[in-house]
Amino acid sequence: MKILILNGPNLNLLGTREPEIYGKTSMEDYLEKLQEEFSEHTLLYFQSNVEGEIINRIQQDDFDALVINPGAFTHYSYAIADCLKNISKPKVEVHISNIYKREEFRQKSVTASNTEGVLSGFGMNGYRLAILSIIP
C-alpha cells in the first residue's frame, strides 16, 4: 500500500518550531522510524506552505491512502476541504497538538468532515496511529 503523508504550512520546521507544542523531533527523523515500522508499505511524503501545491499533490492520485496534517489550512481552506471531499481514498487528519486546547480559531477544522477520522493531541505518534487506522 502507498500512503501519502502530507503536511501543510510550517511543518517543515518540526523539531525547531515551538518545541513545547510540537516536540523536538524533526519530520525527517520521524519518517525514518515510520518507514522502519511500516516497511511493507511505501510511505510518500510531501510538505508545502502553498495551498495550491497541496491540492495539486493530492490530485496526483499515485497513492492508496492519505494522512494529512493541513496545519493552519485546517481552519480556513475550503479549497483543500473540497479536494479531500472529491477523493474516495481513505484519509485521516492529524494534528500534533490538541487543537481543542489551543486558541479559539484553531478549534475548528473545515477539512475534518471530509476525512474518515481526526487524531489530535497525540504528538508525532498521531501519524503512526493514522497509518494503523488505514492499513488493512
Which residues does the annotation mark as catalytic? 22, 95
Judge whether 82 is annotated as a binding position.
Answer: yes
Judge whether 12 is annotated as a binding position.
Answer: no
Q: Cell triple for residue 41? A: 508499505
Query: What are the residues facing 43 on neighbouring strands?
Result: 3
Judge whether 128 is annotated as a binding position.
Answer: no
Judge whether 106 is annotated as a binding position.
Answer: yes
Judge whether 61 is annotated as a binding position.
Answer: no
Judge whether 62 is annotated as a binding position.
Answer: no
CA angle at 135 for the pair 131 and 136, rounded to the nearest 5°: 160
Q: Which residues are annotated binding-site positions?
A: 69, 75, 82, 96-97, 106
Binding-site residues for substrate sit at: 69, 75, 82, 96-97, 106
